[in-house]
Amino acid sequence: MDYRKCAQEIYDLVGKRENLVSAAHCATRLRLATNDNSKVDKEKLEDVEGVKGVFISNGQLQIILGTGTVNKVYDEFLSISGMTAATKADVKAAAAAKQPLPFRMIKALGDVFVPILPAIVAAGLMMGLLEGLTKIWPDMANSGTYQIFHLFSNAAFVFLPILVAVSAARVFGGNIFLGAVIGMIMVHTDLVNAWSVAGMIESGQTIPTADVWFGLYKINLTGYQGHVIPVIIAVWFMSFIEKRLHKLVQETIDLFVTPLVMVLVTGYLTLTIFGPILSTGEEWVLQGIQWVITIPYGIGAAIAGALYPLTVVCGIHHMYNTIEIGMISNTGLNTWMPIASSANFAQGAACFAVALKTKDKNSRHLLFLHHYQLSSESRSLLSSA
């Protein structure tokens, strides 16, 4: 294979240098951020020798070349275009910046939740193991060992707003420690634990309230355990005013004034506006999704399974992280994950079947690759569920 010829043809068909922002590669794909993806001739790109597939994901042009080949074509591509090597993160950021606002918002959700997924996965697996063991040995639930491991398993969910706040502050460019403070305010021990509210109402206990906004209305002094959207919005607002304050406040007093104003303003707005309104909206969304999934005769699951691959193609599937974590935090069950896993397995099986039938070498290679990726993703999804 003539690697330089392949690189030259790709360079010409993506719109040459004036349409290129940055270029990187992974193990199998050449990843490009372009000024205008509509100027890319995808059909002719797929006919270039060595190219096994072309698609656009999250605004990023990805050209599948295969392991080993991509490295050599990439070197030639940089030589022809005169560009310098970029990282995958650089290309991803450049492509994401050109996405419409709704897509950027959903990407931000994914960026917030992906770093904390290991903590959620570890907690979920421990919960599952404990539940399984107590089914086999019921007396274990009364042991000290169970109490200790139960503490380990639910710690991530008890303090979930703090984890989310730290991650959100990192994504939005705010101070991660002040972000943590906002998360701590939302689960402070002076507030009634959110998971205790239902029991208090049933037993006739009064939930403490506070007059806010100079007595205009009252709010319940309850925490936000298990909620994620109010935390993200609160930390986004905190990061927004932090950047503005750094520009307005003199450097000599910035260290004292900025943190004070950030915590006072954001904390007050969180407990009086962001928290009460957004937590209610979040609960409505979760209830609506759970209602759809539980439509009888498999209709709800079919609807969810049909929508899932479409959202993946559009690159907005990261929003499901919010839904899943909300489900686990509120009910202890993730009813969405089995449906998503089934959708992935079905796509993988379809790719495998077509790969066996097709006579085109490039198509067969690409379909086998997709089958492997979809199957791997499904196994990862099921293990984390």
Q: In the chain, where are the structural domains located?
A: 3-98, 159-280, 299-384
What pLDDT score does 8 carry?
93
Q: Which whole number is the average pLDDT over 133-137?
A: 88
Q: Kindly indicate the confidence band of residue 72, based on its pLDDT and cuts at 50, 70 and 90.
A: very high
Place of tokens 């990192």: 170
Residues 6+ apart with CB under 8 A from 267: 181, 182, 185
Rounded Cα gap, residues 325 and 333, in angstroms: 9
What pLDDT score does 56 carry?
83
In SS3 terms, 191-236 reads as: CECHHHHHHHHHCCCCCCEEEECCCCEEEECECCCCCCHHHHHHHH
The amino acid occupying position 165 is: A
Tell me the pLDDT tens digit for each residue of 9-50.
999 999 998 989 889 988 888 999 888 888 888 889 988 988
Question: 55-69, 150-164, 179-193 — which one is most confidently predicted on average?
Answer: 179-193
Q: Can you identify the CATH homologous superfamily of domain 3-98?
A: Glucose permease domain IIB (3.30.1360.60)
Q: Which whole number is the average pLDDT over 3-10?
A: 92
26 is an active site residue: yes
Query: What stretch of H or E contains 33?
Result: strand 29-34
Are 42 and 10 spatial neighbours (Cβ–Cβ below 8 Å)? no
In 10 A of CB 340, how many CB atoms? 24
Confidence check: pLDDT of 237 > 90 = yes
How distant, in Å, are the alpha carbons of 44, 106, 117, 195, 374 from that of 369?
21, 27, 26, 45, 9
Q: Longest C-alpha distance within the chain, in Å?
A: 79
Q: Which whole number is the average pLDDT over 75-97?
A: 81
What pLDDT score does 363 carry?
62
Confidence check: pLDDT of 111 > 90 = no
In 10 A of CB 215, how many CB atoms? 7
Q: Is 69 helix (H, G, I), strand (E, B) or coil?
A: helix
What pLDDT score does 187 carry?
92
Q: Is 360 helix (H, G, I), strand (E, B) or coil?
A: coil
* Mean pLDDT of all residues belonging to the chain: 82
Residues 6+ apart with CB under 8 A from 67: 27, 28
Dihedral sign, CA of 110, 114, 116, 117? positive
Q: Residue 240: which of 224, 261, 221, 225 has the closest Cα?
A: 261
Q: How many residues make up the chain in this entry?
A: 385
| Comparison of pLDDT for 342 and 191, the residue scoring more | 191
Active site residue: 6, 26, 314, 351, which one?
Answer: 26
| Comparison of pLDDT for 16 and 226, the residue scoring more | 16
Q: Is 184 helix (H, G, I), strand (E, B) or coil?
A: helix
Tell me the pLDDT tens digit for each residue of 171-200.
999 999 999 999 999 999 999 888 787 778
What pLDDT score does 177 carry?
95
Are 290 and 238 spatial neighbours (Cβ–Cβ below 8 Å)? no
| Comparison of pLDDT for 310 and 228, the residue scoring more | 228
Confidence check: pLDDT of 378 > 50 = no
